Structure 1
């Protein structure tokens, strides 16, 4: 089968990257006046390309897209958890202390918001959602031209009494041993799995397979499309076909050098990584044993390479159908993930590793093979795609279009971007990261500051050092202004 041949090649390809020589993408040859949009959303994926590629998972297809588009090297999620991050991006609205706190929040928290998909649909696009796009697939469902599709839908059982059975379906274990553990415990079985199966056996592969079918239909329809494809891995459990596990030697995998909170960091920065602890093979308290930590890294890397290969298949089909020259392609991660750094696992923290995200945009007529060093954030994607597609600008959304930086990577962008998690609010500039924690009365109870110019791994909290007093005061003022503005929206 053609796709199998492509996948075999992609899985073994090694691509050299260059981000220094800009080129201009070919003008679209399609008769369509509006560009298509292919939005590839990857769950829980850390930054793996460009200057962050050392000791990272192998992602040749994402790397290739970066050389053919524009890579944003300092992009950040606005909220380091899946559902809230996606709700924020797809509505173009920031989270606050009262908004986007749970997993399924777009309809509940922003009932009047026009989703990104809805805006494209209102302007003549066919809009399709595959896999995990909104965390709750029925949020803002009117924005899709047909019902959002997930491969587990056909397997799902009705009724609250089947909640456990449906969780097993979503976790998608392919080995008998993992399924036996799930059946015999009230936990989530194993945190990782490698099975001798094809790429399309797991639900993750079926999402990519469906995306290819949708592209083929779009080719025949000759109508502009907005296709959102939400790949689930490397979200827990880290399940992937065996061949991706075999891409890595255990002894070559990196081990976190910082296995405790940074020096002088407040205890508020710590969390218990309960998402991971709910798995059968993970201790319920205390540190993870070294061999288990190595296996978790192995599983995460394998699952990341698995999704990269699926992205390669989808992009190869886009090219084969000759849709690529008139299609905007976005690869975006909903947030980062800690692999033992600072003694933490999973997301749910204010550190860079849990908030920095991959963001690559390839657009017709835009320069290629460049990278942007200015700070950007997820809410910027909504206005960017609107401007690139020449459809009307939306009012009442946050974020700033990135088109000026797509045209000129050295163009001045934002001075700062903002993220938040529960009681923590963060401001980031190109150089600094400053976070404040507040109590219910709004009083600051703790803070931390990192100077990325000298401490890129965030190992020493310098918020109380005298020489950074003016820096803290300035960042604190900007942060408060943004909090006040967001709370009024």
Structure 2
């Protein structure tokens, strides 16, 4: 018994010594952030801090989520496995229930000597994989959604009428950043960076910011960055030609907010307010990210810290008449992704198609941790080092009864009923129609056959994954 205890102690000491030489990880998640940012070529957006990170890291121009809803998307990314018809379905997804026995990202790092800390929204459910963090998950408590008294009172009144009834969809209040939750999350992250540095052990600090999730509430100074009169509605503010009815939803998430009609289109002025509010929230969260990056530099941690910035899914700002996410269109599936790593030259871009489940194996390789056998993504490290590295040629995902695949040329989606029988398809030719305005499914039979076969190979015809096969570069 004594010999066994001594052996365990030696192993723990060795692991601790080995871990001490590994880089830290600052893992930044942003809710509902679409790649409409300065560093993605959208110069109307004020995102100087995310742009700063892009200049020191690798920016992935075409990264995609697995499921365009928060709980399911995060569960897939943090387990490293793909969604299925009965796994990772809704925003309420709990990873440890949908994927029992799977070692999650945070747990794997904790088991390998990392201090793992979660602030804000990382997993959707605060109790999900709680044992994978070295201390209790922290989220701000008691912070009112709204700072304007009339908005707070309206919200409280509507909440008494039902949990799905909320206050206004936007707010501009002349307050400091820490009047809202994301400002408090940034402050806590700065404190924890100092504390974790003092431990002299490698850390994984996961920081999840809430905005630009609805409601679009941000301090007035961020609203003032944008001229309301210049904000335009999207050019494709209509349903795509010949789009399947399954592809268009009613923007139900938005309907809970005061001033939003229960059905049908919103007014043009409401649409502009929503877009303005979304932009303001992006700039607000960008400012909080900037505080973390500056503190990392001030503490002398930048050279030995991997920084990852990712959005959990895209968001629609009126495109195809849609608001929120919850669709298989490009606007719902595409995410921003930036990775900065010691020893890898920054200020580079990659146009390859990557998936959010690629992050788990990437961070394992960057930190020298073993790769769990269950992972279905592919490490991005070779691609980060060499833009000509061999890489997969498609990204797949799904939402409810739709399975979707993105290639260089096309986005193809197939909808099925509860028995797995096909009900409709849509195909968008991105070379000629990048905004996905015309469904050309009737004109590309050969391409559809190939796309459908590859989609089924990964997702399975019944919606279940057939194996842990990785998507290869053969299409």
Q: Work out the CA distance in 2 between the residues paired with 1:222 and 1:442.
A: 53
Aligned to 2:70: 82
Aligned equivalent of 2:251, options 273, 286, 294: 273
User: Tell me, which stretches of 5 or more residues in structure 2 are unaligned?
Assistant: 1-18, 469-475
Deviation at 1:271, TM superposition (A): 0.2
Whether the 8 Å contact between 2:38 and 2:46 is mirrored in structure 1 is no
**Aligned 1:445-484 pairs, distance under 5 A:** 445-465=423-443, 468-484=444-460
Aligned to 1:367: 345
Inter-CA distance 52–369: structure 2 relative to 1 (3 Å threshold) = closer
Whether the 8 Å contact between 1:83 and 1:105 is mirrored in structure 2 is yes
Q: Is 1:440 aligned to residue 452 of structure 2?
A: no
Whether the 8 Å contact between 1:55 and 1:253 is mirrored in structure 2 is no
SS in 2 for 1:130: strand
Q: Is 1:258 aligned to residue 246 of structure 2?
A: no
Aligned to 2:187: 209
Aligned equivalent of 1:195, options 169, 173, 186: 173
Deviation at 1:248, TM superposition (A): 0.5
Whether the 8 Å contact between 1:432 and 1:451 is mirrored in structure 2 is yes
Q: Is 1:393 aligned to residue 364 of structure 2?
A: no
Inter-CA distance 83–453: structure 2 relative to 1 (3 Å threshold) = same
Aligned to 1:162: none
Q: Report the RMSD for the aligned CA atoms in angstroms.
A: 1.4
Whether the 8 Å contact between 2:33 and 2:312 is mirrored in structure 1 is yes
Post-superposition Cα deviations, 1:24-81, rounded to whole Å, max 9, x if no partner, equal xxxxxxx951000000000000103467433553111111111110000000000000
Post-superposition Cα deviations, 1:430-480, rounded to whole Å, max 9, x if no partner, equal 221000000011111111111111111111111111xx2111110011011
Aligned to 1:67: 55
Deviation at 1:487, TM superposition (A): 4.5
Aligned to 2:5: none
The runs of 4+ residues in structure 1 deviating greater than 6 Å are: none
Q: Work out the CA distance in 1 between the residues paired with 2:253 and 2:193.
A: 35
Q: Work out the CA distance in 2 between the residues paired with 1:362 and 1:448.
A: 36
SS in 1 for 2:168: coil
Aligned equivalent of 1:46, options 29, 34, 53: 34
Post-superposition Cα deviations, 1:255-282, rounded to whole Å, max 9, x if no partner, equal 1111221111111111001100110111
SS in 2 for 1:40: strand
**Aligned 1:96-175 pairs, distance under 5 A:** 96-102=84-90, 103-152=92-141, 155=142, 172-175=145-148
Aligned to 1:37: 25
Aligned equivalent of 2:335, options 357, 368, 372: 357
Aligned to 1:15: none
Q: TM-score, normalised by structure 1?
A: 0.88
Q: Work out the CA distance in 2 between the residues paired with 1:368 and 1:44.
A: 25
Q: Work out the CA distance in 1 between the residues paired with 2:113 and 2:467.
A: 32
Q: Work out the CA distance in 1 between the residues paired with 2:43 and 2:289.
A: 21
Inter-CA distance 176–51: structure 2 relative to 1 (3 Å threshold) = closer
Aligned to 2:409: 431
Inter-CA distance 56–438: structure 2 relative to 1 (3 Å threshold) = farther
Number of equivalent positions = 441
Post-superposition Cα deviations, 1:205-258, rounded to whole Å, max 9, x if no partner, equal 101110000100112111000000000000000110110011100122231111
SS in 2 for 1:297: helix
SS in 2 for 1:38: strand
Whether the 8 Å contact between 2:107 and 2:133 is mirrored in structure 1 is yes
Whether the 8 Å contact between 1:370 and 1:409 is mirrored in structure 2 is no
Q: Work out the CA distance in 2 between the residues paired with 1:48 and 1:292.
A: 20
